[in-house]
Structure formats: C-alpha cells, structure tokens
Amino acid sequence: MPLRVTTRRLLVLAIGAFGYFTSTPAHSAPISDATKACIGCHEAVTPGIVADWKASRHARVTPAEALTKPRIERRISAALPPAGTAETAVGCAECHRLNAELHPDTFEHNGYRVHIVVSPEDCAACHPEEREQYANNLMANAHGNLQGNPLYRSLAESINGAWSFADGGLALAAPDPLTEADSCLSCHGTRVEVQGLKERSTALGRMTFPVLTGWPNQGVGRVNPDGSKGACSSCHARHQFSIEVARQPATCSQCHKGPDVPAAEVYAVSKHGNLYDSLRASWDFTAVPWVPGEHFTSPTCAGCHVSLLATANGEVVAERTHRMNDRLAWRLFGPVYAQPHPASADTTMLRNSAGLPLPVELTGEPVSSGLISAEEQGARDGRMKKVCSSCHSRQWTDGHFARLVKSIQTTNAGTLAATRLMLAAWDEGLARGLAANDSIFNEAVERTWVANWLFYANSSRFASAMGGADYGVFANGRYHQSANLLQLNDTLKLLRAARAKQPAREGTPLP
C-alpha cells in the first residue's frame, strides 16, 4: 500500500461514480451514414482526431437530446438543429458539409462535397447565441483590428520585417506572409482563402484538395473562406470542442501569457490561481450552469469572463457571454494607455485628435467618441462584481477594484512621463518620429518607450486586476516601469551628449 489518496478526493469519486452510472446520457449517439463514411477512412488516415471526436459530447449526445434539457442547462442555443441532424451525433459530415454553398473551400471528396474550414457560421447552426456574442467580441475582429491599423502595422513590420546590415547600420524590408502567419497572426488570425485546387497522392490514391492561404491557423480573429471571422476551435479545441478545455486557464494562456497581456502569469500567482492549481483535480469543469462552491472553489478565466454562473438553486449569477468584455469596464491593454473599452468590436475607425488610429491621445486622454460611456462602464462593473459576490463581501470587492482604478491611473501616469520624454526626444531630433515621417517603433530608444506601456504598464494593471502582485512588482511590473523611465531618461542624456561630439565616421545625426 505504497500511496494513499485524500479522503476528500475519494468522496468525490465515490459520489461521482454513483451519479455517473445512474444519470449520464448514453455513451454514444447514432452516427449518420455520411459520418460513417468519413470515419471509415479517417479512422485509418487520421486516427487521433477520430478517437478525439469519439470522446466528445458531440459524439455522445444528439441535438434532439440536448434540447430536452432545461434551458439553463442547455449547451445548445438554437431552437431547432439543422434539418435532418437532430437524431444523430454531431459528426464529421454534420459540420464539414454544412452551408456548403457558402464555402469556397468546398470540394468533391470521395463522393461527398465537404469543406475544410468549419467556421463560426457553421457552428451557429446549433449555437447561434454564442456566435452572435462572439461576433461582437474584440477577438473576432483581431485580424482586421491589427491589419487595418496603420500604426499597429508599423509596429508589426518592425518586429516581423527582415532586418539586415547595410551601410554600417541596419535596413528593414517588409515581412513575408509566412512570418506574419507564424507571429502576430497566429493569435490574431490569418486570412484563409482558396488559392485553387491541387491533386496529390494519398494513402488512398490520388485526390484533389483546395489549397488554402494562411493555413493552418486557429487564431481568434481568423478570416475564413466563407467570410466569417473567428475560430471556435481557438478555445474549444478540435475535435472534442469541449467546454472542459475552454474553461481551463491553459486555453487562454495560449495568447494571454506574454508580457503584453500576461493574464496567465498573473493568475498563476493569484490566490484564485493557487486554489485552481491546488484543488482543480476535484473540480467539475463540465457542469452547466457552473455553480461556484459546488463545482469549483475559485474561478478560472472563463468563470469570471465567460461562463453562465448560477447558484445551487438555479438562480443566475452571470449570464453566459462570448463577448469577453461584457463584464469589463476598462481595457487594461494600453495602446498606449488603458482606457474604457471600445464601443464597437471593430476598432479601426477610432482616431485621436492628432489623427492617429488610437483609442487615446498620445498624452493619455481617451478619444472623445467610440469608447463605452461611464454608464456602460458601471453596468459592466456591476456584472463583474456580481460574480465576485458569490464568495466576497461588498467591502472586499469594492476595495479590490478601487486599487485597480488607482493602478490604471498611476500606470497611465508613468506612461505619460515616458511619452513626454519621447516627445521631447522626437522634437530634439534624438529620434525620428511621426513628424519625420518615420515609424515610431524602429529605434532602440523608441523600443524602450514601447516596453514602458506594452510590457510594464500592462503587466502592472493585469496584476492589479487579478491580485497577482508578485508578477506586478518585481517580475514584470512597477519595478520595471520605474526602471524603464530612468533608463529612457539616461539614454536620452547620452544621446544628447553623443550628438554634441559626433565621431568622424558618422555623417548623419545620432542615432
């Protein structure tokens, strides 16, 4: 008897096992003939995803069964599933043949017309509410909001472009599509288009397939061949598409761990993250609705931002939403400063008074139109605090968010100091800025300025929002925002001093 397990976990298992054998749905649903045909080959060709799908709820529950649940327990939001699909499992054919006429990537495949890229429009056949919510989510527009913003493009080009040594210094060429797909667009989403058809030999003979640009990609704002935006599989990973995976922080961490939006790093050192990591093995990540205290002891990302939460009595605490900022008054991500959230998920139309495509002035003030009102901020704040109230008193919650608002103010003020230093530097010609028709991201000192807001101010704010001070001070936060300011100031002094006495070799102003 080398090892024991905790009595708590065993209680869970014993009770759970009893419930399982008495109340769970059948382990598999009838499979349509078309899907049987798919599986017939693909069980040999790509056995991993077939097995994965067989473990999914889609394989076990028919839409008709799903509709028999009380409204609050449903995972399906359509009143009726597509014609002819109600009584079978949601299999290969049910999704990959849906809306065939809308899909330029539809092709003839062993007697069936199928398409490769299942889009949110396809998922909407059974999940229309989620699709509608997500369409109004900033994330659905992540491709266009980046690619359609000249300022952001300028940053992306300085990162992904090809730097080379030239004339004793550096030269920059435009980035290539493969690099862009592998970099920013990996999360923001690529544009997937059909470039034609190509025949190739396969294990089952020669076949013809559409050739896609920007493939593969699971970015949240992927532009699909059918013109829709987004990829449900970003979070509900293929081919289980499970709520269990989407509710795990690891899912969000794929795009929200880096120092620009370090939610996962902050969560890991928060009390919520501590409890998640320590106790998650006994939590239920599949229940709908999700009941704080009963199914989990502390929230994951989804718990605060997405999931339908209810009390054990079925009273709704928070409605499900796939517009991820429904419970968020402030956009902590500062390009260049934190600000009230944009009113529209398409942010390409935002302009500050200087004509820059930003939600803020370079001196920090939010733009005069295009952001949510103070009233809307209050409503979102209320929704979030309702979630907190499952476990926390009002004084606790108010105290927490007062610190967040203060953190937004102080980190924005730090960025303002950095920006004023940079404005002086551009003005003095120590760096080449917008007035010189140059990118503001392609010089070392400009990157120091970028780090101030993109990394350190953002990180400090995320830490404040989620109670992760260990990350928000010495790991990547306030210590570094202040050190960055000091560094920026001293670098400008050195640049001034260097300019005062140019070495003979350099014909042009420094830098």
Stretch 309-328 residues interacting with a copy of itself (CB under 8 A): 311-312
Residue pair 246/286 in contact (Cβ under 8 Å)? The answer is no
Q: Which residue, chain included where needed, has tokens 């990973």?
A: 237
Where do the DSSP E strands lie in 64-145? 106-109, 112-115
In this complex, which beta carbon is closest to a copy of itself, that of residue 384 or of residue 445? 445
Q: Residue 133's closest CA among 261, 325, 371? A: 325
Residue pair 224/134 in contact (Cβ under 8 Å)? The answer is no
The continuous run of DSSP H or E covering 339 comes out as: strand 339-340
Applying the rule CB under 8 A, the residues between 325 and 384 that interact with a copy of itself are none
Residue pair 184/157 in contact (Cβ under 8 Å)? The answer is no
Among 227, 277, 353, 382, binds a copy of itself (CB under 8 A): 277
Residue span binding a copy of itself (CB under 8 A) among the ranges 32-40, 78-86, 365-373, 408-416: 408-416
Residue span binding a copy of itself (CB under 8 A) among the ranges 96-104, 131-139, 371-379, 388-396: 388-396
Applying the rule CB under 8 A, the residues between 421 and 440 that interact with a copy of itself are 421, 424, 428
- Does 485 bind a copy of itself (CB under 8 A)? Our answer is yes
Among 129, 215, 346, 365, binds a copy of itself (CB under 8 A): 215
The continuous run of DSSP H or E covering 80 comes out as: none
Dist. CA 351–CA 66, nearest whole Å: 46
CB of 369 to a copy of itself, least distance (A): 28
- Does 24 bind a copy of itself (CB under 8 A)? Our answer is yes
| Burial class of 446 by CB neighbour count within 10 A (0 to 12, 13 to 18, 19+) | buried
In this complex, which beta carbon is closest to a copy of itself, that of residue 347 or of residue 452? 452
Calculate ∠ Cα 287-288-290, nearest 5°. 75
In this complex, which beta carbon is closest to a copy of itself, that of residue 115 or of residue 371? 115
- Does 154 bind a copy of itself (CB under 8 A)? Our answer is no
In this complex, which beta carbon is closest to a copy of itself, that of residue 136 or of residue 390? 390
In this complex, which beta carbon is closest to a copy of itself, that of residue 100 or of residue 498? 498
Write the Ramachandran bin of 293: left for phi over 0, alpha for psi from -120 to 50, otherwise beta.
left
Residue 317: both structure tokens together: 């605490």
- Does 113 bind a copy of itself (CB under 8 A)? Our answer is no
Residue 287: both structure tokens together: 């229940």
Q: Residue 258's closest CA among 464, 473, 476, 414? A: 476
In this complex, which beta carbon is closest to a copy of itself, that of residue 315 or of residue 373? 315
Among 4, 33, 70, 199, binds a copy of itself (CB under 8 A): 4
Residue pair 136/323 in contact (Cβ under 8 Å)? The answer is yes
- Does 266 bind a copy of itself (CB under 8 A)? Our answer is no
Among 72, 316, 399, 436, binds a copy of itself (CB under 8 A): 399
Binding pattern for the stretch 291-310 against a copy of itself, x by CB under 8 A and - elsewhere: -xxxx-x-------------
Among 455, 456, 457, 466, binds a copy of itself (CB under 8 A): 455
Applying the rule CB under 8 A, the residues between 69 and 108 that interact with a copy of itself are none
Among 250, 316, 379, 436, binds a copy of itself (CB under 8 A): 250
- Does 408 bind a copy of itself (CB under 8 A)? Our answer is no
CB of 433 to a copy of itself, least distance (A): 15
Dist. CA 312–CA 299, nearest whole Å: 16
Among 154, 253, 348, 377, binds a copy of itself (CB under 8 A): 253
Question: What are the DSSP calls for 373-401, one per residue?
Answer: -HHHHHHHHHHHHHHHTTTS-HHHHHHHH
Applying the rule CB under 8 A, the residues between 170 and 209 that interact with a copy of itself are 170, 176, 178-179, 181-184, 186-187, 200, 202, 209
Where do the DSSP E strands lie in 104-231? 106-109, 112-115, 162-166, 169-173, 194-202, 205-212
